[in-house]
Amino acid sequence: MRLISQTGEQLGILQLRDALRIAQQVNLDLVEVAPTARPPVCKLMDYGRYKYEQAKRDREARKRTKVVDIKELKMRPTIEEHDFGVKVRNARRFLEEGDKVKASITFRGREIVHADLGRQILDRLCQELVDLAAPERAPRMEGRFMTILLSPRPGVARAARATEGQEQTSPGGVA
């Protein structure tokens, strides 16, 4: 087997008993890092410390990840102008927070005949949010609902957080 020291230095190709003897002399563990290689590669290391550091890195990685939620906006094909504006503002806020937005139009009764009105509303929503979001797929009918899923463009949430940080540190102490 090929042996590597704890500093990364290659110690050469040794027999298993010789490698174990060296590991006992330096009070470290002999860990097989590449079992499929010919000859297999082993490394001298403190395995307990290695596992601890790996768990610590995993915890840090989990801490940095952001869970992306899907926020839903529900509308009707007869939505008024002001109500539509409120929905756009809410969608803008959700996208700036880094969440995805699912916009759905609910058709009741005979409104289903006018599916083109629902598509126009969803297309208009996409146009209003073109700077923040990209549609993951075109609007589609699912029973009596027409839905579209908008995901934030890369860097949008980070840019929004950066501007929030500037607003909070205004010179007068009042934001």
pLDDT at 163: 59
In whole angstroms, give the CA distance from residue 86 to residue 45: 60
Question: Which neighbouring-strand residues pair with 74?
Answer: 104
Average pLDDT over the chain, rounded to whole?
87
- Please state the rounded mean pLDDT for residues 117-136: 92
Radius of gyration of the chain (CA): 29
Q: Full-prediction pTM beyond 0.75?
A: no
* The pLDDT of residue 120: 94
Residue 23 predicted with pLDDT over 60? yes
Which residue blocks in 33-155 are alpha helix, DSSP H? Answer: 47-64, 81-96, 115-128
Domains plus CATH for the chain? 2-47 (3.10.20.80), 70-161 (3.30.110.10)
